Structure 1
Amino acid sequence: MDRDSDQEDDSTSILLERREQLTDSLLQSPYDLILYLERAQVHADLGYPDLAAGDSYRALLLCDELADESFEYHEPALETLKARLEEGYPSILRKRETANANGDVTFGVEHMDIDCADEPILKVPKKAALRCYQNLSLSLLLCGCLKSAYEFCSRGLQAAPEDEDLNQVKDYIFNMAKRRLKVEEVDISELPDQGLVRREVYPWNDHEPDRHTKESLNFLNKQLQFVAPKCEVRSVDLPTLVESTIVPDEDGNIPTNKQLGLFARDDISPGETVLEEISVLTVNNRLKDSLCDVCSAPLPPLGEQSTVVGCPDCDDTMFCNEQCLELAQRTYHPAVCEKEVDAISKDPDPKESPNALYLLLLSRSLAMSATQEKHPLDLNEVKFIWGDFLPSASNAVPISHKAGPPPVWTLPFTFASNISTPLHILEKMDIDIFSTLASYDLWIFNTLYAKFRGTASARVDKQSGKPEVAAVHPLWCLANHDCDPNVQWEWGGRMKLWCREERVGGRKGGVKKGEEILNHYCDISLPVQDRREWAEGSLGGWCMCERCRKESGEMEGWEGDDKKKSKKDEYVDGIDGNGNIARLDGHIDPLEDLEDDDFERDAKHMGGMSGSREGADVRVGGDVALARDTDDMSIDEDE
């Protein structure tokens, strides 16, 4: 390892230690806006502009609290600020310095010197608010959220029109917008706001389990007994997928990585149910629609024999039956009952439908956490699911001037979906967003989103063709993809897997004891190249199942059906949902239309959530490469 790498590692270790100290201080003093600004700077130095934006936004909210005596947290925020100022004027408000591994300042706001020995205390929040605007505009710019960056930049310039840093960021925003939109003049209303951030198990995340330990497998198998009594979870080696054909080594082996899979404990007959799972981590984006609040199945018709029941404490939350009501009361509903949370992200603009569903999944998980008094990442429905995490080192922004290109980040991110709206939801649930930082920090929201994008499935409305229901079924998603599956599935109120009567090529169905349960997330009747291109966004590369390798000539001896269907006959019978091998990255590029003319094009570029077209699955996202140029801070979309 060279000297630059050693220095970079040392610098990272120091910054991580400083972050831990600041986080501990925030847990003891949750209304200290200065601590948030200090941690924002550390997050920025570590290469987490999204987390820097999150801290800066909380600091900005505390500035608002200080400015109005009627606000809920005015008194604790004021008392905390007075105590801080007794120690001297905070250096974070004088200038922002970012040191590299050699201790040299590489970027900062140098001109913001403040001689404030006698400055009235209530002027300090104004200085802090300006720092928040500077942080938010630059951090959101680095995430690719140009519209939100511009909005905070504009707010800052209203307070300080001559601020050099804000004016510089404003220029960066428009230059980047011109490159992304490929235009000479930028319409502010057209500024893109979908960005990408790091997708990883954060170095301080001590909630992520090793899914392959005996304890983890025992837990999953105990859960599996209730929904798939003839199955068990095992570790399995799967091909490491890339966006091209993998060349085997001289022994004919291809690279693999360890994941989880479902295996038959006993023989399973054709047509026999393999798994039937209901998940409370199910949401719909239809306001006041006739869907069960737990499972989102259509409510049974009303009548004397109807099983439909409502919540006894709120007027408009309905359930299929007493079982769903009891499940809701035990797992999530008390946290949102009569809290006016239901309307948030419901009936969204069609283009925002996929984003809204992910946000609703996050909202449901927060309600589950509050009701069960459990950390969101420790929920049974979340803890063991796959998140397509990359190693922190591969996500890190290099400090050395000798380093290669910066990394490509893969977790879709917006200010509204990841920062402001989740905090708004928590406030609606009467949760103090400052004192509960340990459970509701931004990195926790990001981790949940990564897991949802790795495993969520969706059902589309038959009339509009837009996604309306989304769910995470943590046990169903353990079944791996294969283009010669031995099971098929459907999702109503419950996710159901059953053994196929017939395999590809006309072979008789059935699963023998010890064989792996093989699900499918693309239209398996298409030719190999079409299947690979179609599922590339969900699998993270070309499918390397035995059927695909044989049909492509990479193996010998396949006699399967390779007939291409006409476009009018095409349907998607399950793209993704797999928590083990699918790479569900990319920014949200909603399916604007599922009509036949666009369906093949949209499906090819999918990445994010699986969904169904009258019971079949479709994707609601697309991959975008984020190219950061160190000279002009450009972000380009990969066409």
Structure 2
Amino acid sequence: MANKLPKSRYNTPPAHQAVAPPPFPPRPDLYDEVEWAPHLSKDDAKIARRFWSLPDSFLGESLGEQPRFLRPTNDEEAHAQPMHALARNVYNHLMQEYLVPLGPGNWEQRWVDSGLNAQAWSFDDIFTGQGFDLGDITEDPDRVAGQLISGMKAQQLRDTLEKRNLSNAGTVAQLRQRLRDDKRRKHRRYHVLPRSDLTHWGIERDDTAKYAIEITDESAIGPLDMYTCAILVSPYNPTYWLSRAYCHYQQAFFDLAVGDAYRAQLLCEVLVNPSLRTRQPGLYTRTWHALEQHIRAQERDPTTGNPYPELEWLRQSNGVNYFVPTIRKAIQNVISLSLAALQCWEDYYIKENELSHQMIMIDRDLAPFQDRSEVMRPTVRTLTAAKMTPDYFFYEKRAGNAFGDRRYPYDANDKDRSADEFVDKATEILIDQNPSLPWKKCKVHVNHGVNNDTQLSIVATEDIEAGEIIFVEIPPIRGHLNLRKLPRGPIVQPLLRCDNCQKHLSARHQENYSNEVQQGNIREACRCISKQVPIAFCPAPNQEGETCAADARARYHFQACGKDWEWLHNAMRPMTSILRGYDREYYTHTNEAHTTLLSLLLREVFDITLQRRKRDPHLMAHEIDELLVLEGPNNWQTQNFPFTLAGNVQVPFDILMQLGVDIFQDLTFDTWVIQLILRKLTAHIVPWDLDLRKPTKIINQKKILAGKAQLTMPERDLAALDPTFHALYLYPGFSLFNHACPPNNNATWGYDPEVLNRLLVWSLRPIEKDEEIRISYFHPDDHEVSAVTLQRVLGRPCNCGGPHMNQRQPKAAAGG
């Protein structure tokens, strides 16, 4: 006891900047939120390996001479070759050209040269001779009209064959076999990933479009679909996630490659990091089991009949962990190259050095990272310098660029926004059924632009006088960030607002309601009020007699209710520590720089989707009504979207898991779905704070001073470190009003003084029937709007013909 240091020494924080900020935002402490899929059966393991092995074998055959990185140079390395079995072909392919990433312009030729673009596998190619009953996958081929073929009499067999225009001659055994063969021929079908039912939008998806992947003898699938099918059968095998990540990389879907490789990395970390094995019970055993069953699924080489040597390694002390190092090296190379291709330079350098700090690697394995760093450094320096301009908000400065003009592989290209049924449905949902809009003076209309660009707009359905209210909307998707303020003077209770309407609430509201909430006595509040980041609602009914809590529970406050979301707020705002010697808080760094701006709105989209799936089980998150009406890839031909590892991959996956979603097994929330949601939000969100709607308020630098200096900083200067946007809303109807630079706009907009986040649009001058209603996005008193600020704030090119059209080309509009 005498050798123990004083307790105060343990609690003393390090000096300012003595410890570097963590490379990525905090993650939630998850435990039993997710219900994992059952352990893999032997039959399923064989199916999954078959899906993976066919394209992986072709990948290996297309290599030619084996690259130097996995080529054995001595007996010890030759003996260890089986340890590379699960990632050998991907790693060797990566090492052929590892110094610079694929470019958006050269991937297609390389994809063709590899021969993978022409590879496809039919039902017969995949399933024949695999030792499992086709009846487990499709309609039972041994039944006709509910009766077993084996139990049918001779005359029944002849009558059935005659109805099928087949010969009914022969023995009973021949008749039975002929009927079975015909059944198998017609019902050999494997389909997965059902799509949303959008018939209410006039989008009819027939049998060929109801599933993203369908395998028959007539419709074969390529490598990407094969890897996806392997994942669906065996979701906890990092080998399959790695192979699909590399396939996405080869096709220049770099954001999707990062998402797949990140999930593979999570599974590998569960295997190699003992501290993670009990954090989410069941994930470790399922990952180990998936890899073990993968290796055991095919014990002998079909060409030689000899046992595979990896089986001997599997039986030794480290089991499947022998195979993990090569998988981890391949994962890191996929992530690094993809981040470089996306120009996420800060994330790139963090991930480039990550694995060398976690495991011992020989020089030959370290060489790709070291060589790539040297080759890329001049390019990174040039591109980074070019981006340090006032054109970008602070939260975008760290982000890379993902192109918006390419449609993701599983995104159905059947949503025609110009179709009459689609436009009529948009009018019905946004205007006719809008409870906040008792009068109907406008409708959704289609503007046909150049290059087949379909742009929706709002037009008047009757003459409108100057000063009339035209449109009213309550936000269905919202994000309220809890600001962290450094205490000045006596510590006071933080300001509370109603999460539903944004009205101020008394500090006593939290105190008075907290105990009642715990006992379940107050229906106007919920247990969220007692969390570290409290969510509160107005205690009294509104003018319509409805409480804000009831409104929230009906529209958006579902599975997210009652969970601790402090980690999510911390992933978006400045972080604090205690300044040594002063016992005062100071800002150490801000996680806003990770481009996590949209995380709270993303959570609401997930929450709404999960709730609506109770009545529509196949609903996809990017196709909920509020998002489906918005513009999509067809409108993003010249647009880039911000991308960071934290904002686009890590935080979205953590949100899903906290909501109980298995990010490995549930591909309805695959990476491409997340990216589409984030892009739709990026193009259409509206900030609530009036000052932040002024383009002159674009801030692209936030310097955090030393801790001691912060103690005497004026409150105004400290407030400059607040997140750029802390109350964001999506108004789907308002998003369809197109922008017009003054004086071309005939309407303007603002917030209702009674319900603070209810948005109003009113006319500035008389508007004739069938005239398009255009609003100015910016505050009318701001005369410093330029094409640069238009480019950063609005959603698509301004085509109003206003004064800014003659300046540097803008890139945006509020609607569309």
Whether TM exceeds 0.5 here: the answer is yes
C-alpha deviation, 1:355, in angstroms: 3.1
Q: How does 1:433-472 map to 2 (within 5 A)?
A: 433-438=663-668, 440-460=669-689, 464=719, 466-472=724-730
- Aligned to 1:435, what secondary structure does the other structure show? coil
Corresponding residue number in structure 2 for 1:75: 285
Distance change in 2, residues 1:428/1:385 (3 Å): same
Distance change in 2, residues 1:418/1:208 (3 Å): farther
Give the TM-score of the pair, scaled to structure 1.
0.67
Distance 2:786 2:335 in 1: 42
Q: Deviations over 1:499-552 (max 9, x none)?
A: 11xxxxxxxx1212211111112466788x965454244568874424549x96
Q: Deviations over 1:186-212 (max 9, x none)?
A: xxxxx9742111224313202872211
Contact kept, 8 Å, 1:283 with 1:357, in 2: the verdict is no
Are 2:347 and 1:148 equivalent residues in the alignment?
yes
Contact kept, 8 Å, 1:195 with 1:412, in 2: the verdict is yes
Contact kept, 8 Å, 2:241 with 2:261, in 1: the verdict is yes
Corresponding residue number in structure 2 for 1:123: 322
Match of 2:573 among 345, 348, 354: 348
Distance 2:332 2:114 in 1: 30
Distance change in 2, residues 1:151/1:30 (3 Å): same
Corresponding residue number in structure 2 for 1:381: 626
Q: How does 1:55-454 map to 2 (within 5 A)?
A: 55-67=260-272, 68=274, 69-70=277-278, 71-72=280-281, 73-87=283-297, 116=310, 118-119=312-313, 120-158=319-357, 159=359, 160-162=361-363, 163=365, 164-181=367-384, 193-199=398-404, 200-206=406-412, 209-223=415-429, 224-225=431-432, 226=434, 227-228=436-437, 229-238=440-449, 257-287=453-483, 289-299=495-505, 309-311=524-526, 315=530, 316-320=534-538, 322-346=546-570, 348-349=573-574, 352=592, 355-373=595-613, 374-387=619-632, 389=634, 410-438=640-668, 440-454=669-683
- Aligned to 1:267, what secondary structure does the other structure show? coil
Contact kept, 8 Å, 1:340 with 1:428, in 2: the verdict is no
Contact kept, 8 Å, 1:461 with 1:467, in 2: the verdict is no
Contact kept, 8 Å, 1:353 with 1:467, in 2: the verdict is no
Distance change in 2, residues 1:295/1:383 (3 Å): farther
Distance change in 2, residues 1:457/1:89 (3 Å): farther
C-alpha deviation, 1:262, in angstroms: 0.5
Higher relative contact order (CA 8 A, sep 6+): 2
C-alpha deviation, 1:257, in angstroms: 3.6
Match of 1:43 among 240, 243, 248: 248
Q: Deviations over 1:311-360 (max 9, x none)?
A: 25753321245543223223332211222125413561378279343222
Give the TM-score of the pair, scaled to structure 2.
0.53
- Aligned to 1:430, what secondary structure does the other structure show? coil
Return 5+ residue gaps in structure 2 as ranges. 1-107, 121-220, 302-307, 314-318, 387-395, 484-493, 514-521, 575-589, 614-618, 692-715
Contact kept, 8 Å, 1:269 with 1:511, in 2: the verdict is yes
- Aligned to 2:568, what secondary structure does the other structure show? coil
Contact kept, 8 Å, 2:407 with 2:633, in 1: the verdict is no
Distance 1:90 1:512 in 2: 78
Q: 1:514 is aligned with what amino acid?
A: D
Distance change in 2, residues 1:494/1:388 (3 Å): farther
- Aligned to 1:118, what secondary structure does the other structure show? helix
Q: Deviations over 1:384-403 (max 9, x none)?
A: 11246567xx7xxxxxxxxx
Q: Deviations over 1:582-603 (max 9, x none)?
A: xxxxxxxxxxxxxxxxxxxxxx
- Aligned to 1:467, what secondary structure does the other structure show? coil
Contact kept, 8 Å, 1:271 with 1:499, in 2: the verdict is yes
Q: 2:446 is aligned with what amino acid?
A: S
C-alpha deviation, 1:258, in angstroms: 2.7
Q: How does 1:561-572 map to 2 (within 5 A)?
A: none
- Aligned to 1:434, what secondary structure does the other structure show? coil
Q: Deviations over 1:144-175 (max 9, x none)?
A: 12222222222222322521322233334534
Distance 2:329 2:634 in 1: 35
Contact kept, 8 Å, 1:145 with 1:414, in 2: the verdict is yes
Distance change in 2, residues 1:343/1:79 (3 Å): closer
Q: Deviations over 1:273-299 (max 9, x none)?
A: 111101131112225652222344544
Distance 1:376 1:76 in 2: 27
Distance 1:309 1:146 in 2: 47
Distance 2:379 2:351 in 1: 16
Contact kept, 8 Å, 2:417 with 2:454, in 1: the verdict is no
- Aligned to 2:569, what secondary structure does the other structure show? coil
Contact kept, 8 Å, 1:51 with 1:443, in 2: the verdict is yes
Distance change in 2, residues 1:369/1:177 (3 Å): same
C-alpha deviation, 1:382, in angstroms: 1.1
Contact kept, 8 Å, 1:358 with 1:449, in 2: the verdict is yes
Percent identical among aligned pairs is 21
Corresponding residue number in structure 1 for 2:800: 545
Distance 2:535 2:795 in 1: 39
Give the count of matched residue pairs. 485
Contact kept, 8 Å, 2:524 with 2:550, in 1: the verdict is no
Contact kept, 8 Å, 2:739 with 2:774, in 1: the verdict is yes
Are 2:770 and 1:514 equivalent residues in the alignment?
yes
C-alpha deviation, 1:44, in angstroms: 0.7
Q: Note the aligned Cα RMSD (angstroms).
A: 3.8
Distance 2:796 2:634 in 1: 15
- Aligned to 1:496, what secondary structure does the other structure show? strand
Contact kept, 8 Å, 2:595 with 2:644, in 1: the verdict is no
